[in-house]
Chains A and B, each alone.
Chain A
Amino acid sequence: MASLNRKSIIMDAAGIERALARIAREIARNGPGDGELAIVGIRTRGIPLGERLARQIEEIREECPPFGYLDITLYRDDLQSIGYHPVVGATRLPFDINGTHVVLVDDVLYTGRTVRAALSVLVDYGRPRTIQLAVLVDRGHRELPIRADYVGSEVPTSRGEAIQVNLDETDGEEAVYLCEIPGEEGTTQ
Chain B
Amino acid sequence: MKLNDAPGLDRKDLLGLEELSEREIRLILDTAREFREVLDRPIKTVPAMRGFTIANLFYESSTRTRMSFELAQKRLTADSIGLAVTASSVKKGESLRDTARNIEAMRVDMIVMRHSQSGAPHRLAAQIDAHVVNAGDGCHEHPTQGLLDLYTLLENLGDLRGKRIVIIGDIAHSRVARSNIHGLRRMGAQVGVCGPPTLIPVGIEDLGVTVYPTIEEALAEADAINVLRIQLERIGVPLFPSTREYARLFGVTPARLEVAKREVLVLHPGPINRNVELDSRVADAPGAVILSQVTNGVAIRMAVTYLLAQKTMKAAHALA
User: Residues of B contacting A83 with CB < 8 Å?
Assistant: 310, 313-314, 316-317
Given the complex, which residues of B lie within 8 Å of A44, measured CB to CB? 3
Tell me the count of chain B residues lying within 8 A, CB to CB, of chain A.
Answer: 34
Interface of A is mostly: loop
Segment 158-199 of B: residues with Cβ below 8 Å from A: none
**Bound CA span A120–B46, Å:** 10
| Residue contact A87 to B313, C-beta cutoff 8 Å | no
How far does the Cβ of A124 sit from chain B's closest Cβ, in whole Å? 4
Question: Which of A10-18, A27-35, A72-80, A138-146 interfaces with chain B?
Answer: A72-80
Contacting residues, chain A, for B41 (C-beta < 8 A): 124-125
Q: How far is the CA of A37 from the CA of B41 in the complex (A)?
A: 21
Known contacts A80-B316, A124-B43, A125-B41; A89/B3 CB under 8 A: yes
Within 8 A of B (CB), among A88-115: 88-92
Contacting residue for A74 out of B48, B314, B317, CB 8 A = B48
Contact among A82, A88, A189 for B31, CB-based, below 8 A: A88
Partner of A84, one of B34, B35, B310: B310
Q: Are A84 and B314 in contact (CB under 8 A)?
A: yes
Max count, chain A CB within 10 A of own CB: residue among B48, B50, B307: B48
Question: Is A172 engaged at the interface, CB distance under 8 Å to the other chain?
Answer: no
Q: Is B237 an interface residue (CB 8 A)?
A: no
Pick the residue among B1, B35, B42, B313 that contacts A88 (CB under 8 A): B35
| From A44, A71, A74, A82, residue with most partner B Cβ within 10 Å | A74
Tell me the bound Cα distance from A1 to B314 in angstroms. Answer: 16
- Residues of chain A within 8 A (CB-CB) of B48 are 73-75, 79
* A89-B3, A125-B42 as given contacts; A84 in contact with B37, CB under 8 Å: no
On whether the beta carbons of A84 and B3 are closer than 8 Å, the reply is: no
As a 0/1 sequence over residues 186 to 216 of chain B, the CB contacts with chain A under 8 angstroms (1 = contact) are 0000000000000000000000000000000
B319 to chain A, nearest CB (A): 10
Pick from A44, A71, A87, A188 the residue with the most CB of B within 10 Å: A87
**Cβ contacts under 8 Å, B63 to chain A:** none
Cβ < 8 Å to B, chain A residues 13-58: 44
- In the complex formed, the residue of B with least CB distance to A96 is B42
Asked whether, in the complex, the Cβ of B4 is within 8 Å of the Cβ of A85, the reply is yes
Cβ contact within 8 Å between A88 and B34: yes
- Which partner residue on chain A sits nearest B77 by CB separation? A74
Contact for A86 among B2, B9, B38, B46, CB less than 8 A:
B9
A8 contacts chain B at the CB level, 8 A cutoff: no
Closest to A98 in B: B42
Q: Is B51 an interface residue (CB 8 A)?
A: yes
Distance of A114 Cα from B5 Cα, bound (Å): 18
B20 within 8 A of A: no
Distance (whole angstroms) from the CB of B12 to the closest CB of chain A: 15
Chain A nearest CB, measured from B1 CB (Å): 7
Chain A residues, Cβ within 8 Å of B1: 1, 188-189
Q: Is residue B47 within 8 Å, beta carbon to beta carbon, of the partner chain? A: yes
Q: Check if B7 is an interface residue, CB within 8 A of chain A.
A: yes
Contact A86 B307 (CB under 8 A): yes
Out of A71, A82, A125, A126, name the residue touching B317 (CB < 8 Å). Answer: A82
Contact between B34 and A90, CB atoms less than 8 A apart: yes
| Contact A88 B306, beta carbon cutoff 8 Å | yes
CB of B320 within 8 A of CB of A81, answer: yes
Chain A residue with minimal CB distance to B76? A74
**Chain A 120-169 residues near chain B, CB threshold 8 A:** 120, 124-126
20 contacts across the A-B interface (CB closer than 8 A): A1-B1, A1-B5, A74-B38, A75-B46, A79-B49, A79-B50, A80-B316, A81-B316, A81-B320, A84-B314, A85-B310, A86-B4, A86-B9, A88-B34, A89-B3, A90-B33, A91-B37, A120-B47, A124-B42, A125-B43
Residues of chain A at the chain B interface (Cβ within 8 Å): 1, 44, 71, 73-75, 79-92, 120, 124-126, 188-189
> 9 other contacts beyond A83-B310, A124-B46, with CB at 8 A cut-off?
A79-B48, A80-B316, A81-B317, A82-B317, A83-B314, A83-B317, A85-B4, A86-B8, A87-B8
